[in-house]
Chain A
């Protein structure tokens, strides 16, 4: 797997191999003192059968690139990987994979946290779940906005 360095930002319409992605990211950033990664998954709870993520092509990927750029500068990163799924997923599937490489661990932890808080409630995605009684759009939670406000 070849990554774009130092920033690799992708929208994926099918499943991803987390192991391969992180191994490639680690190999691409030999100079980093630490790498922190976060993997977000479709929760197998209630009677959720499927989850669908919609996006808007002209805004979603450019917005993810700007966000990654911001994280890069703010946390002095050596590298960042920001991958987000679109389309239909089932419980247990990976929705998002974020990894941050930095000289020191604190910056890597904070950058992964920062990226995730923004992907949850400030990136151009819309999520809906299919339950036994049909599709339901997911409203952003108050907690998501509170998480985002921490970085202002």
Chain B
């Protein structure tokens, strides 16, 4: 089953798609490795958030996604 990585908003353009399936478990170092240097650089910015299992992580570097988890990469928002 693995871990599903979702690229929201402008990150989907950088990733060349809106989702990707990777092997579980997935930690912060593994995530940076999977997404490539451009997105890894974005993830380093404080204004880019990461959610795992539908919850925004207070400390994204503590990511520990298990089999079946969805990891969403959330760039700065623009609604209204």
CB within 8 Å of B: which residues of A? Answer: 40, 53-54, 56, 58-59, 84, 95-96, 116, 119-128, 137-140, 144
Contacts and interface: CB of A to CB of B under 8 A. Distances in A.
Interface residues of B, number: 17
Contacts of A123: 77, 79-80
A58 B50 CA distance: 13
Q: Which secondary structure dominates where chain A touches chain B?
A: mixed
Contact of B79 (A58, A127, A137): A127
6 contacts: A96-B79, A122-B77, A125-B80, A126-B8, A137-B13, A144-B78
Interface stretch (B23-31, B38-46, B58-66, B68-76): B68-76
A140 B80 contact: no
Interface of B: 6, 8-10, 13, 51, 54, 56, 70, 72, 74-80
Given A58-B51, A140-B77, 6 more contacts: A40-B80, A96-B80, A116-B80, A123-B79, A126-B10, A139-B76
Nearest to B10: A137
Nearest to A116: B80
